[in-house]
Amino acid sequence: MTMVWVCCISFLLQLQISLSMAVIQLPSHSWELQKDQNAKKDSHSIIEAALSSNSAYNRLAYMTDTFGPRLSGSIALEKALNWTKEEIFKDGLEVQEEPVKVPCWVRGHEYATLRSPRVKDVRIAGLGGSIGTPNGKPLIARVLVVSSFDELETRKNEVKGRIVVYNEIFEGYSTTIKYRLTGAQRAEKYGAVAALVRSVSPFGLQTVHTGYTNAASIPSAAITKEDALMFSRMQERGQEMEIELYMEAHTLPDQMSRNLIIEIKGSEKPEEVVVFGGHMDSWDIADGAMDDGGGAYVSWEAIRLIHSLGLVPKRTVRAVLFVNEENGAMGGQQYYTDHVHELNLTSIAIETDEGNFSPYGISFSGSHKARNLLTDLGQELLGQLGAGNVSGEDYGTDISYVCEKGVPCGSFKTLDPRVGNYANNPCLEFSNPPYPEPDMEMSAYFWYHHTEADTIDKLSPEQLQRCAAALAVWAFSIANLRCLLPR
């Protein structure tokens, strides 16, 4: 820590001197990049190399097609990790495996049927962590639809013995997710026998979106947006609905898995690190190409690009391919435990777990000084790629354990050009237009997230390579700064 401060104070003094001299000589930002012409040259090389390859896409397509869904505790995840490891070796890179104990939730068979006012199959996706229906049998119950937790409170006397259906409006993922997380817990308090939650998504084609739910003593599952809307209409007309629900969901003992770590050791300060990564696990119904095979593989690709150009950063750059982000975040927690001695030596941690479309920058959580530095760096080195924006202040789940201890953190941001101006898109719903933009909360990412439709065709080779290029430039240039990012 002392070293860091001495280093940063001398850096700031030099910056001030160079700033006052620069007024005449240097028209643009006069931080240390101008003394380091290599930064621009190396960034160009990285971007050029990235754009002349399809490596990330080809590997991700092979991995998702061949191994499919990769929930923690599954053999598919372990096979995908093994294959990934072998491919990383082929790049001439080393891989470290850091063991992680992960939970093992199993969906089993499940179905729901509307029995009245007509018979209809109701598509469901049991929520991760849910229990099954009692005694291994189907349950049959009448339905109560509510559109919010407020309405649940108002109608709490009607809940007993019913299946509660949440027909909540999508107001962005982070806002609406509360129905999936706590809907069952709240309904069970008033005597509900099950909870069905409208899929947390702005858009539906009879798609069910699974995801984690907090432990409850009643089963819970996602239903489609279309069915939730129909149940709501039926209730408004006074039509009684009855549903048969069957779920075998259960939790097995924890299993061993591992985080994969790929590094290029720093030439001057190998003990200081720039960390970035995504997660290898996915939900059991999703190939997890977007969430988050893409994030894991562009992180690996960023290291591969730097390595293939023979570039060696001053500090160590490290990609972490986490496991168990989806249902427990044990990979992120274990990384924190294994690397706690490095917190003061970690310049920044960046996660890419919000899609890998057109990169536009990072959301940053850290000091004002560090933010200014990154803003300049982004403009200088990533402006041309359109990937240099620094805004926001959020970070990803896997790195949250180190972020909460004061390590500067970033979340890699991309935009899906298919969605464009969300506020004017009549296919999407939002309660308070115009929705702020650009905001990935409303991007096409959440059309497919945690569904069977999260497949490789949603991604493009070019976008993945641009993401890898942007990540590589961020990581490499931050690793080459004179100091660790100021706290």
Ligand X SMILES: *[C@@H]1O[C@H](CO)[C@@H](O)[C@H](O)[C@H]1NC(C)=O
CA distances from 270 to 5, 93, 153, 266, 480 (A): 18, 16, 56, 4, 11
438 sits near ligand X (criterion: CB under 6 A): yes
96 lies in the site for ligand X, by CB under 6 A: no
1 binds, among ligand X, Zn ion, none (CB under 5 to 8 A by kind): ligand X
Which of 417, 416, 412, 420 minimizes the C-alpha distance to 470? 412
CA gap 73, 330 in Å, rounded: 12
Nearest C-alpha neighbor of 197 from the set 248, 281, 122, 140: 122
Please count the other Cβ atoms lying within 10 Å of the Cβ belonging to residue 68. 18
Q: For Zn ion, which is the closer residue by CB, 87 or 292?
A: 292
248 is catalytic: no
CA distances from 428 to 147, 170, 385, 425, 436 (A): 18, 9, 29, 6, 14
Pull the structure tokens for residue 478: 């931050």
Binding region for ligand X (CB under 6 A) out of 77-85, 254-262, 263-271, 284-292 = 77-85
Does 416 contact Zn ion by CB under 5 A?
no
78 touches, from ligand X, Zn ion, none (C-beta below 5 to 8 Å by class): ligand X
- Closest separation between CB of residue 420 and ligand X, Å? 14
Contacts of 146 (CB under 8 A, 6+ apart): 152, 155, 164, 165, 166, 167
Of 260, 294, 339, nearest to 467 by C-alpha is: 294
Q: Within a 10 A sphere around the Cβ of 373, how many other Cβ atoms?
A: 25
Q: How far is the CB of 353 from Zn ion (least distance, A)?
A: 4
Task: Choose, by CB under 5 A, the member of 281, 284, 291, 376 that binds Zn ion.
Answer: 291
Choose the one of ligand X, Zn ion, none that binds residue 389, judging by a C-beta under 5 to 8 angstroms depending on kind.
ligand X
Using CB under 6 A as the binding rule, the residues of this chain from 367 to 396 that contact ligand X are 389, 391
Q: How far is the CB of 85 from ligand X (least distance, A)?
A: 8
Nearer to ligand X by Cβ, of 344 and 397: the residue is 344
Choose one: 167-175, 258-266, 352-360, 373-381; the region binding Zn ion (CB under 5 A).
352-360
Provide the sign of the torsion angle of the four alpha carbons 36, 40, 43, 44, taken in this order: negative
The single residue listed with the structure tokens 């018979």 is 119
Least CB distance from residue 477 to ligand X, whole Å?
A: 17
Q: Which amino acid is at 210?
A: T
Catalytic residue of the set 168, 188, 263, 325 = 325
427 contributes a contact to ligand X by CB under 6 A: no
Neighbours of 313 (CB within 10 A): 25
The size of the interface with ligand X (CB under 6 A), counted in residues, is 10
CA distances to 13, 16, 162, 478 from 66, in Å: 55, 55, 42, 36
Question: Cβ of 383: how many Cβ atoms within 10 Å?
Answer: 11
Distances (CA, A) of 196 to 105, 134, 165, 180, 203: 19, 16, 5, 9, 18
Whole-angstrom distance, CA of residue 301 vs CA of residue 298: 5
Give whichever of 69 and 129 is closer to ligand X, judged by the CB atom.
Answer: 69
Determine, following the binding rule CB under 6 A, whether residue 66 of this chain makes contact with ligand X: no
Please say which residue, 244 or 439, places its beta carbon nearer to Zn ion: 439
Joined together, the tokens standing for residue 156 give 């709490």
Tokens, residue 119: 């018979």
Q: Which of 29, 40, 79, 101 binds ligand X (CB under 6 A)?
A: 79
- Size, binding site for Zn ion by CB under 5 A: 3
**Binds 391, which of Zn ion, ligand X, none (CB < 5 to 8 A, cut-off by type)?**
ligand X
**Which is nearer to ligand X, 78 or 151 (by Cβ)?**
78
Task: Identify which of residues 284 and 353 has a Cβ nearer to Zn ion in the complex.
Answer: 353
Q: Does 351 bind Zn ion (CB under 5 A)?
A: no
For Zn ion, the binding residue among 227, 281, 284, 292 (CB under 5 A) is 292
Select 277 or 388, whichever has its Cβ closest to ligand X.
Answer: 388
Q: Does 353 bind Zn ion (CB under 5 A)?
A: yes
Site string for ligand X, 326-365 (x = CB under 6 A): ---------------x--x---------------------
Question: Is the Cβ of residue 78 or residue 248 nearer to ligand X in the bound state?
Answer: 78
354 binds Zn ion (CB under 5 A): no
Q: Which amino acids are annotated catalytic?
A: 325
Binding residues for ligand X, rule: CB under 6 A, are 1, 75, 78-79, 82, 341, 344, 389, 391, 438
